[in-house]
Amino acid sequence: MGRSPKKNQPLDFCFDNETPCHWVYLQPFQMANRSATCREYLEFMIDGGYTRSDLWLSDGWETVRHFCWQAPLYWDRHPSDPTGWRVFTLRGWHGLSDLLDTAVCHVSFFEADAFAKWRSCRLPTEAEWESVAGHLPVEGTFLEAERLHPGTANGTGDIEQLFGDTWEWTASAYTGYPGYKPPVGALGEYNAKFMSSQMILRGGSCVTPADHIRATYRNFFPPAARWQFSGIRLAK
């Protein structure tokens, strides 16, 4: 897991928090072959997902109550759509009916974790995620597609949407890998100073340039953050 840049190849770039390459022991696990969809998340909402404290981490439940969350960020109740919801996208308002089979996005780690519990699943660890993604080509819906919103899975049965579409929350806290040492000076502040109270996301999104992502890339946000196309993949 992780990456160790080749010293004789100066263009073999990665960020310091992706290093060093190290061994991780994994127990057997299963991971969904696609991202969770808006349709599935709406079912979670209809089943009282935002009113059931048993589904939420303690801090998550406090956050739901404090901010009165009832749906993902940018979802708005609207009678014009059969679902009763519309979604604000980078191309304006769309009825949720048009987006039901696209990957749900703009959800926090707390929401992703609660949804996973509702489905009797969990979120993958970043080691599990990387162990699968590291064997796949970096392909998906990226910025170059100019879609500017997550797409739908092809439904082939193969694993899809690991790259692009949405940044996927993992169950892993953001911390340094074994043997990690922050670079000296200002560069060492870029990633190391944020290694507290944040969770890891993987895979890039529909507004990530394709040449900016790789299987070892580590994104991180506080668990209540709901922006930049953050989504969900289930595991067991």
Beta-strand pair 219-221/92-95: unpaired
CB 121 within 8 Å of CB 235: yes
How many Cβ atoms from other residues are within 10 Å of residue 209's Cβ? Answer: 10
Whether residue 189 is predicted with pLDDT greater than 80 in this model: the reply is no
Joined together, the tokens standing for residue 216 give 């070892």
Reported as a single tens digit per residue, the pLDDT across 69-108 is 999 999 999 999 999 999 999 999 999 999 999 999 999 9
Reported as a single tens digit per residue, the pLDDT across 1-14 is 999 877 777 777 88
CB 108 within 8 Å of CB 230: yes
Cα(16)–Cα(18) distance, integer angstroms: 5
CB 113 within 8 Å of CB 57: yes
Joined together, the tokens standing for residue 157 give 């049965």
How many Cβ atoms from other residues are within 10 Å of residue 192's Cβ? Answer: 17
Q: To which residue do tokens 């759509």 refer?
A: 81
Residue 221, classed as helix, strand or coil, is strand
Reported as a single tens digit per residue, the pLDDT across 118-176 is 999 999 999 999 999 999 999 999 999 999 999 999 998 899 999 999 999 999 999 99
Beta-carbon contacts of residue 25 (< 8 Å; ≥ 6 apart): none
Reported as a single tens digit per residue, the pLDDT across 27-46 is 999 999 999 999 999 999 99
CB 147 within 8 Å of CB 206: yes
Read off the pTM.
Answer: 0.95
* Mean of the per-residue pLDDT values of the chain: 95
